[in-house]
Each structure stands twice: as structure tokens, then as C-alpha cells.
């Protein structure tokens, strides 16, 4: 189907649904009178129009950027219209933000350079496609959006060296992430792309880790009104620790799990009734941590237990560790050296898994999952498994997919899954159901019969898929020497 046909068909579908004489000011009122199926059809036709229009816009952005290159001087396309850069001109034309205009320019330039080989070119005349050619093809074909293309490309970055093996590895990573786009949020795509990049280029991962560590900073200053202000730029581990401290203290305010222990429940109720805003609570928490210092009393400061960062590192049967680790909460990739440092300070808990990340049965049957079983679930699931949910393991509850009282369900990790409090309650109270055959993927079944909605296979998080069975790094001989 051609570009013009896509545009024409989508516009015709909208006109058929909305009519030819509806005024823009009456549009919302008119749509509210449509049936459910018609409203969905309006959204789908609009999405197609937006996607095609965005493709045309980013293509134009790439051409504008090419014709506004620095060496064009004042005769450049953007400069001749009073703008310093192509992004500035595009921002003025579209009314978008500076970041959005810059993204469209990046995507547009990737569409133009290098050109994609055409099918009518002889093999000998076809240029070697760039590693990101699959991204360009997927964007043009409408498989992914410009935002997804940019997130994947920035996350993977350019290969560290030019070679066929390295280029193929990056292209394979791009194709893997393209396949995940329909089921992943934008933030998860970004995180997954960075995690795969660090796995493909462990030397670069360590370098980037050290660079972020060198950029760490904290500033205090007084503004014109006499307010004392501060600004953090965290390194990887410091940022994870800060997030964990906040999560530990504010979890009841942010939809954390239900509390079984009575003292924890009382603390959660007290925090929920607190008149302070979340920002004020966060400030008071960090001031308390500063006051308490290294001798902080965990129960006094955090309410329950002291916050900490847990790292997960893949080790094969021979005891050889993978090139990177990741945090249990947030799935933030960290180099192997960071994991080694943590092991020296805190030790480790071994969890045996199969090639799909399924842990072995680590305990006896209990009504409540044991702490070690919770660790195993966190390693496998990486957070709430509900489609589109990004809640980390510390915000989740362990759900028994076999009802304990009705199906004599066993409390073992193969029959358990992590769900955030909201989705756990939604599943129990609205007729959703989870099933699993052996160690295959979990399957989410909607309540009753829903038009166009069938069971959903809950695929593992992309970053974890890459960690267990993902793309292997290029052989050492392809890495830079010296």
C-alpha cells in the first residue's frame, strides 16, 4: 500500500465516521455519540493518519537538516529563514518542544544516511546497509513509530568498531527490539536497548559507568529569595540507592504492597494520613538520613527495615560471570565490577535458573512465599508482569496462580508471579485469570468475553530476556585493541 493510499483510506474512514460537516468545536460531542466500536475505529484511523504524517514530517526534517549543515553558512535552509539550526526551524514550524524537534531531526537524518538498498539494484551495486537499517525499514513500514525508533537507536548507540560481525550483532539487537515494540512501553524499550548495548560492549559499559561516576556532583546555593536549594547529579549506584530509600519510605503512598505485619500496616496507615506532600516527605526523609548518618536506626528512619540495593548477575554453570549485572528494582544495568564490589561488602544469594530465567524450586510449600522465594521471583520477573506496568519488584506482591483455598494451589515459584498491588487486586476482583503450562510463559485471560480481546501471553521483560539468552557479545578479536 502506498503512502497516498494509506492517507486517503484513513481520511475517508474518519469522514465516514464523523461526517463531512462537523465543526472542530463540535468534534468531541459528536464522537461521544458514537458506539464503542465506532469510537475505537476513529482512534485507529487517526493513529494511522498521525503515523503517516509523522513519517512525512521526519523525512522533511532530515532534508532540512541536510540543507542546513554548518558548512552551508548563512545560505543554509534554516539559516536563510532566521534560525541557527534545523531543529530550531522545525520547532517554530510545528510548535513542538526543543527536545521533540531535535528527535525528529535525528530520525529524519537516519532515514537519509546511508540510503537503504533498493530491490532493483544488482547485488554488486548495493551499498552495505548500516546496522540501523532494520530500524529505518520498520519505521517506513509503519511497524514502529519515530519515537520508538529514536529510543532504540539512542539506547543501542553506534557500534564501537567497524566490522561485519559487530555490525551484524547491533542489527540483530535492533531487530530483537523492533519485535518487542508492540508489547513494551517506551521507557522499557530505552532500558532494554541500553542493557543489550552493555551486554554487547562490556568494555564500553564499564567506561560509561566510570564516566557517569566522574560526573557525579552535589550543589547547594541560595536563590534571590533566600531559599537554600540543592541539585544532585547521581552516578549509577548513588541514584539506585536514593530511589530505593524513597521507595522504602513512601511505598504506601505510591501504591506499594499490602502489609501483613500489624506494625507495618499501622505505619502505612499513618503515612497515608500524613498531611505532608510526597515531596515534603521525601525532603524530611533525606534530612533524617543525613542527621542519622552511618549509625541510622532502620526502624526509626525507614519505619520497617533499612533500604538497600540488590543486584542480579548471571553466572553460568562453570562459575563464569556475565559482563554486566542489573539492579533488581528498575533493571538498571551495571558493570561486573560494581557487582564484584557489592559481593565483597554484602555477599550474595545464589538462585539457579534455566535458560528462560525460571528459578528452580527453592523452598517447601508455604502459604506465603518465603524471602528466598521472593528473591527468586524478583530475579525472574523484574517487577509487575501485567502488560504495560513498570512497577519494580519492591512494589509487588507474589500472586498464586492456583488459588490456595479452591485449587489446593502450591506456594512454589513456578506457580507464582509478581503483580503490583493495583493489578493484583484488579485480577482478584474483576474476573481476570492467569495460567501457565509447566515453565512456559504465563497467560493472562480477560474476564468473560471481550470483543477483540483474547488471552495475552506475558513475555518476560526484554532486558531480562537479553540477560538470560540474549545476543552474545562479539568475539574479543573484534574489539578495539590498544
The angle at the Cα of 374, spanning 370 to 375, to the nearest 5 degrees, equals: 120
Whether 207 is covered by a domain: the verdict is no
Segment 294-301 shows an average pLDDT of 54
DSSP letter, residue 21 = S
Q: Say if residue 408's pLDDT is above 50.
A: no
Those residues whose C-beta lies under 8 Å from the C-beta of residue 398, and which sit 6 or more positions away, are 368, 369, 373, 374, 377, 416, 417, 418
Query: What pLDDT was estimated at residue 406?
Result: 43
Segment 32-38 shows an average pLDDT of 88
C-alpha 355/C-alpha 189 separation (Å) is 22
Same domain flag for 262 and 329: no
Same domain flag for 87 and 33: yes
Same domain flag for 342 and 404: no
Q: How far is CA 123 from CA 134, 306, 318, in A?
A: 18, 62, 44
DSSP secondary structure, 29-94, as one string: HHHHTS-HHHHHHHHHHHHHHHHHHHHHHHHHHHHHHHTT-GGGGGGSTTGGGT-SSHHHHHHHHH
Same domain flag for 332 and 388: no
More confident residue, 341 or 65: 65
Query: What pLDDT was estimated at residue 405?
Result: 39
Which stretch, 144-153, 318-327, 440-449, has highest mean pLDDT?
144-153
All three cell numbers of 100, joined, read: 521533540
C-alpha 293/C-alpha 255 separation (Å) is 28
C-alpha 398/C-alpha 257 separation (Å) is 9
In 3-state terms, what secondary structure has residue 236?
A: helix
Q: Say if residue 177's pLDDT is above 90.
A: yes
C-alpha 39/C-alpha 17 separation (Å) is 9
Whether 101 is covered by a domain: the verdict is yes
Neighbours of 347 (CB within 10 A): 7
Query: What pLDDT was estimated at residue 170?
Result: 93
Segment 124-140 shows an average pLDDT of 81
Segment 384-404 shows an average pLDDT of 80
When pLDDT is cut at 50, 70 and 90, the band that residue 449 belongs to is low
Whether 121 is covered by a domain: the verdict is no
- Among 89, 112, 135, the domain-final residue is 112
- Among 302, 320, 337, the domain-final residue is 302
Out of 10-19, 118-127, 152-161, 407-416, least confident range: 118-127
Query: What pLDDT was estimated at residue 295?
Result: 55
Same domain flag for 13 and 92: yes
In 3-state terms, what secondary structure has residue 198?
A: helix
Segment 26-41 shows an average pLDDT of 87
Whether 391 is covered by a domain: the verdict is yes
Whether 204 is covered by a domain: the verdict is no
Same domain flag for 386 and 427: yes
Whether 127 is covered by a domain: the verdict is no
Query: What pLDDT was estimated at residue 206?
Result: 87
More confident residue, 87 or 448: 87
Same domain flag for 332 and 271: no
Give the model confidence (pLDDT) of 465-475 as tens digits: 777 765 665 65
Q: How many domains does the structure of the chain reveal?
A: 4
Whether 333 is covered by a domain: the verdict is yes
All three cell numbers of 480, joined, read: 578495539
pTM across the whole model: 0.69
C-alpha 377/C-alpha 412 separation (Å) is 10
Whether 390 is covered by a domain: the verdict is yes
More confident residue, 121 or 337: 337
Q: Say if residue 297's pLDDT is above 80.
A: no
C-alpha 149/C-alpha 169 separation (Å) is 17
Same domain flag for 290 and 383: no
Give the model confidence (pLDDT) of 193-215 as tens digits: 998 998 888 888 888 988 998 89
When pLDDT is cut at 50, 70 and 90, the band that residue 399 belongs to is confident
C-alpha 64/C-alpha 195 separation (Å) is 33
Same domain flag for 285 and 263: yes
Same domain flag for 348 and 388: no
Query: What pLDDT was estimated at residue 361?
Result: 53
Same domain flag for 258 and 291: yes
Contacts of residues 208-217 at CB distance under 8 Å and 24 or more positions apart, as own/partner, are 209/235, 209/236, 209/334, 209/335, 209/337, 209/338, 212/236
Mean confidence (pLDDT) of the chain: 80
CA-based torsion, 5, 8, 10, 13: positive or negative: negative
Q: Are 57 and 44 in contact (CB under 8 A)?
A: no
Give the model confidence (pLDDT) of 410-445 as tens digits: 567 888 899 887 788 778 777 788 998 888 889 999
Query: What pLDDT was estimated at residue 232?
Result: 93
C-alpha 292/C-alpha 289 separation (Å) is 5
When pLDDT is cut at 50, 70 and 90, the band that residue 221 belongs to is very high
Same domain flag for 337 and 258: no
Q: What is the rounded end-to-end Cα distance, in angstroms, of the chain? A: 51
Segment 357-379 shows an average pLDDT of 70
DSSP letter, residue 454 = -
By DSSP bridging, strand 416-420 and strand 396-400 are antiparallel
Q: Are 396 and 384 in contact (CB under 8 A)?
A: yes
Segment 450-456 shows an average pLDDT of 70
**Residue range of the domain that includes 382:** 371-459
Query: What pLDDT was estimated at residue 471?
Result: 61
Amino acid at each position: 500500500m502506498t503512502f497516498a493510499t494509506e492517507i486517503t483510506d484513513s481520511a475517508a474512514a474518519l469522514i465516514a465516521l464523523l461526517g463531512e460537516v462537523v465543526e472542530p468545536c463540535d468534534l468531541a460531542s459528536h464522537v461521544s455519540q458514537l458506539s464503542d466500536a465506532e469510537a475505537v475505529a476513529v482512534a485507529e484511523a487517526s493513529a494511522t493518519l498521525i503515523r503517516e504524517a509523522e513519517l512525512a514530517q521526519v523525512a522533511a526534517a532530515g532534508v532540512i537538516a541536510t540543507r542546513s549543515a554548518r558548512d552551508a553558512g548563512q545560505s543554509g535552509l534554516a539559516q536563510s529563514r532566521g534560525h541557527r539550526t534545523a531543529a530550531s526551524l522545525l520547532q517554530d514550524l510545528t510548535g513542538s518542544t526543543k527536545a521533540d524537534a531535535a528527535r525528529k531531526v535525528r530520525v529524519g537524518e537516519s532515514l537519509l544516511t546511508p540510503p537503504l538498498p533498493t530491490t532493483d539494484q544488482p547485488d554488486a551495486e548495493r551499498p552495505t546497509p548500516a546496522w540501523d537499517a532494520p530500524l529505518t525499514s520498520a519505521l517506513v513500514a509503519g511497524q514502529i513509530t519515530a519515537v520508538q525508533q529514536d529510543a532504540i537507536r539512542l539506547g543501542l548507540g553506534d557500534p564501537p568498531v567497524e566490522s561485519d560481525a559487530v555490525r551484524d550483532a547491533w542489527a540483530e539487537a535492533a531487530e530483537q527490539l523492533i519485535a518487542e515494540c508492540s508489547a513494551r512501553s517506551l521507557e522499557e524499550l530505552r532500558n532494554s536497548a541500553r542493557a543489550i548495548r552493555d551486554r554487547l560492549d562490556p568494555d564500553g559499559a564499564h567506561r560509561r559507568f566510570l564516566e557517569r561516576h566522574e560526573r557525579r556532583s552535589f550543589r547547594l546555593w541560595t536563590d534571590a529569595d533566600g531559599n537554600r536549594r540543592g541539585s544532585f547529579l547521581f552516578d549509577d549506584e548513588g541514584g539506585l540507592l536514593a530511589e530505593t530509600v524513597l521507595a522504602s519510605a513512601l511505598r504506601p503512598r505510591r501504591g506499594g504492597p499490602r502489609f501483613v505485619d500489624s506494625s507495618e500496616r499501622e505505619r502505612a496507615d499513618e503515612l497515608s494520613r500524613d498531611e505532608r506532600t510526597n515531596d515534603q516527605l521525601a525532603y524530611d526523609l533525606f534530612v533524617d538520613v543525613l542527621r542519622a548518618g552511618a549509625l541510622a536506626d532502620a526502624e526509626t528512619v525507614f519505619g520497617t527495615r533499612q533500604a538497600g540495593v540488590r543486584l542480579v548477575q548471571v553466572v553460568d554453570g562453570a562459575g563464569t560471570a556475565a559482563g554486566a549485572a542489573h539492579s533488581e528494582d528498575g533493571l538498571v544495568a551495571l558493570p561486573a565490577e560494581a557487582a564484584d564490589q557489592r559481593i565483597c561488602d554484602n555477599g550474595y544469594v545464589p538462585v539457579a535458573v534455566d535458560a528462560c530465567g525460571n528459578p528452580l524450586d527453592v523452598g517447601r510449600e508455604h502459604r506465603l512465599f518465603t524471602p528466598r522465594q521472593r528473591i527468586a521471583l524478583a530475579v525472574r520477573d523484574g517487577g509487575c508482569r501485567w502488560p504495560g506496568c513498570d512497577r519494580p519488584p519492591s512494589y509487588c506482591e507474589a500472586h498464586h496462580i492456583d488459588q490456595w483455598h479452591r485449587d489446593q494451589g502450591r506456594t512454589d515459584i513456578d506457580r507464582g508471579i509478581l503483580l503490583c498491588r493495583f493489578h493484583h487486586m484488579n485480577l482478584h476482583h474483576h474476573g481476570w485469570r492467569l495460567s501457565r503450562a509447566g515453565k512456559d510463559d504465563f497467560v493472562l485471560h480477560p474476564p468473560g468475553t471481550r470483543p477483540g480481546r483474547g488471552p495475552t501471553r506475558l513475555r518476560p521483560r526484554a532486558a531480562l530476556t537479553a540477560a538470560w539468552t540474549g545476543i552474545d557479545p562479539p568475539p574479543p578479536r573484534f574489539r578495539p585493541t590498544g
